[in-house]
Amino acid sequence: MHWADHTALRLGDRGGAQVSCSGITPSGEFHVGHLREILSAEMIHRACLDAGLESEYVFIVDSMDPLRRVYDFLSDSYERYIGHPLAYIPAPGPDGEPGDGSTSYAEHFLNPFLKALEEIGVSPRVVMNHETYESGGFAESIDRSISMKGEIRGIIESISGRELDDDWFPYNPRDSEGSMDGVTITGYEKPYVQWIDSHGVEGRSDIRKGEGKLPWRVDWAARWKIHGITCEPAGKDHGAAGGSYDTGIPICRLLGGKPPDKMTYEWIQLKGMGAMSSSSGLTIGPMEALELVPPQIMRYIIARSKMGRHIEFDTGPSLFQVAEEYERLVSEPPKEEGGMSKRQKVAVSTQEGAIRLSQIVRGSEPSESIGGVSFSHLSMLAQIKKSDEGVWSSLRKSGHLAGEPSTSLVGRLTRMRAWIGGPHFPEDGRVRILTGEKGEVRAEIGQEGLAFLEALCLALEGGEWDYESIGTRIREAADKVGITRREGYTTLYRILLGRDYGPKASTLIGEMARGDFVALASSYFPD
């Protein structure tokens, strides 16, 4: 079965209500790589619902995490905010300078990402971690962590293999200026942690308020308990031996919680460039991707891949292949048949699950996502028709569209035009009809090619001007002059596009006026 359905089956054995979770630190621009964790958790949540389990999907924003350095997109003015929680830092303006504080740093980067999630069909319960601290949600876990400081220290050191500093403490208070850096703990008397900061100022932090936070490894374990999380996929860095997943599980138990089973995923890589990274600038943003890729296809890229395999995200030629694979499975849903091997049955089940989980609205009909128009056909029309109405008119003429286009189809065309007009569209996919005879092309097609063109032009003088009729005439003309049909198609691509391949030839010719095609082909005939 599909990996999400298999996970749901395991979670059902665990019993009780299920809570799938993913989290993110809003320290900068998000990228498509973040969608793997989020969509993996959301798809498991959907699979739980499909299996009849009570389930919720929670998205935790690590807004209490500190600003760790001045990133390239920030001005030097942010130096004074290093160590401050992202929720309490002003958002940067276009010039990288701190804003007026009406929007926090965390909100500034989070809000566009939540919009992208909405477009891709993800509607989680959003939890801002700083609000959980402010409301006292972490207070019990903080108190228990402090009282069991030795045990937690032992877990981290023995599992991670690294020694903690002598003054390590399982709570990082905010100092007199709001930073969590350079603070020394001097005592604890519930609910207050006493400290002295790097400025020599003494103070105390109330663990029931947002006046400090747990270190990452303890924070993660604590929120599993606080939110009752039963499933949280994490990147392979967290899942590595001795990583935060391995330490989080026993710490969660020590705090009185029941941790989720360890679940890790491989990263998304930009094809030929390696794993995406916000800090290195090697990214494609989710909004940028969704301006190019239909959301169902974006979901399918995640759903079709096992979590343990890396994904190469490619907005070039491979996107055609993935889209065509999706469309084929939607148009001809895989079915289990007698005589299939176990491997074939697994493939059918996996493909069915991938298509089901790729829909924007859970339970919606997959065929509505393509609207009877293939990705490659829409690509061709978007390039040879200047106006959207020209595209709709062509689709009506070919029988692909009856009446007005759906909202989904309008959105697909908008994305297609953005893709074609941007830097990611592959040159191999471009459709530029040649305007007349080219000497080098004439030499390439030779006498057999010219004979084929003459026979085809003669056959196309009358009769229906539609894709099917044109396809029939192409095959008949090739047979008549004694060349292979493949040679005939190659000849057509050379005179139409100046290369040996392209969209379906009968479709491409059918989108031209009869006279324009005949004139172009005839320009190659001897005088």
Segments forming the whole domain that contains residue 287: 1-138+266-360
- Whether residue 214 lies inside any domain: the answer is no
Summarised one tens digit per residue, pLDDT across range 167-212 is 999 999 999 999 999 999 999 999 999 999 999 999 999 999 999 9
CA distance 93 to 101: 10
Asked whether residue 436 carries a pLDDT value surpassing 80, the answer given is no
C-alpha span between 460 and 457 (Å, rounded): 5
Task: Check if the beta carbon of residue 514 is closer than 8 Å to that of residue 488.
Answer: no
CA distance 94 to 477: 62
352 with 388, same domain? no
Question: What's the CATH code of the domain at 306?
Answer: 3.40.50
- Mean pLDDT value of segment 386-390: 94
Judged by DSSP in three states, 95 sits in coil
Q: Which of 28-37, 414-423, 454-463, 466-475 has the lowest mean pLDDT?
A: 28-37
Q: How many residues does the chain have?
A: 527
- Given this model, what pLDDT does residue 43 score? 97
258 found inside a domain: no
Tally of domains in the chain: 3
- What lies within 8 Å, CB to CB, of 315 at 6+ separation is 284, 289, 292, 293, 419, 424, 425
- Does residue 133 share a domain with residue 5? yes
The reported pLDDT for the residue numbered 273 is 47
The pLDDT of residue 271 is 62
Element (DSSP H or E) covering residue 347: helix 342-357
Same domain for 356 and 292, yes or no, is yes
- HSE value, Cβ hemisphere, 13 Å, CA-based, for 118: 7
Predicted confidence at residue 167, as pLDDT, reads 93
CA distance 370 to 210: 48
Phi, psi of 456 (to 5 degrees): -70, -45
Task: Work out the pLDDT band at 289, boundaries 50, 70, 90.
Answer: confident
Per-residue b/e over 291-330, b at no fewer than 16 CB within 10 Å?
bbbbbbbbbbbbbbbebeeebebbbeeebbebbeebbebb
pLDDT at 519: 92
Same domain, yes or no: 321 and 414: no
- As a whole number of Å, the end-to-end CA separation of the chain is 65
Kindly give the pairing relationship between strand 192-196 and strand 184-189.
antiparallel
Query: In the structure, how many helices (H) and strands (E) does the chain have?
Result: 21, 13
Closest CA to 430 of 488, 382, 358, 365: 382
Query: Which pLDDT does position 440 carry in this prediction?
Result: 84
The structure tokens 């993996």 sit at 40
Residue 473 falls within a domain, yes or no?
yes
The pLDDT assigned to 279 comes to 44
Residue matched to tokens 């999706």: 326
The crossing angle, in degrees rounded to 10, of helices 244-254 and 149-160 is: 160
463 and 425 housed in the same domain: no
Report pLDDT digits (tens) over 134-159: 999 999 999 999 999 999 999 999 99
| pLDDT on residue 31 | 75
pLDDT at 276 over 70: no
Are residues 411 and 511 located together in one domain of the fold? no
Mean pLDDT of 274-279: 48
Please tell me the distance from the alpha carbon of residue 166 to that of residue 163, in angstroms, as a whole number.
9
Give domain status of residue 38, yes or no: yes
The overall average pLDDT reported for the chain is: 91
What is the CB-side half-sphere exposure of residue 406 using CA atoms within 13 A? 13
Do 132 and 274 lie in one domain? The reply is yes
What pLDDT was estimated at residue 284?
66
> Looking at the domain assignment, is residue 365 inside a domain?
no
Tokens of 268: 């998304």
Question: 138 near 210, Cβ under 8 Å?
Answer: no
Check: CB of residue 257 under 8 Å from CB of residue 145. Answer: no
C-alpha Rg value of the chain to the nearest Å:
30
Q: Name which residue leads in pLDDT, 333 or 7.
A: 7
Q: What is the pLDDT of residues 300-341, one digit of tens each?
A: 999 999 988 888 877 777 888 888 899 999 998 888 888 888
Contacts (Cβ under 8 Å, ≥6 apart) of 72:
281
CATH number, domain with residue 504: 1.10.10.350
Say if CB 85 and CB 181 are below 8 A apart.
no
For residues 295-299, average pLDDT: 91
Q: Are residues 308 and 399 in the same domain?
A: no
pLDDT tens digits for range 29-88: 887 778 889 999 999 999 999 999 999 999 999 999 999 999 999 999 999 999 999 999
Provide the percentage of residues in the chain whose pLDDT is more than 70: 96
Tokens of 253: 């138990």
What is the spatial distance between Cα 413 and Cα 294, in angstroms, rounded to a whole number? 10
Amino acid present at 212: G
Task: Tell me if 257 is assigned to some domain.
Answer: no
Domain membership of residue 158 (yes or no) is no
Same structural domain for residues 455 and 414? no
DSSP category for residue 136? T
> pLDDT class for 422, splitting at 50, 70, 90?
confident
> How many Å separate Cα 28 from the centre of its chain?
17
- Give tens-digit pLDDT for 98-132: 999 999 999 999 998 899 899 999 999 999 999 99
**Neighbouring C-alpha atoms within 13 Å toward the C-beta of 360:** 17
Average pLDDT for 505-512: 93
pLDDT reported for residue 316? 76
Across 338-351, average pLDDT: 88
Q: Are 371 and 408 in contact (CB under 8 A)?
A: yes
Q: Please indicate, yes or no, if residue 159 is contained in any of the structural domains.
A: no
Q: Are residues 492 and 420 in the same domain?
A: no
Question: Do 425 and 445 belong to one domain?
Answer: no
- Are both 131 and 8 inside the same structural domain? yes
Q: Are 68 and 105 in contact (CB under 8 A)?
A: no
Q: What is the pLDDT of residue 437?
A: 65
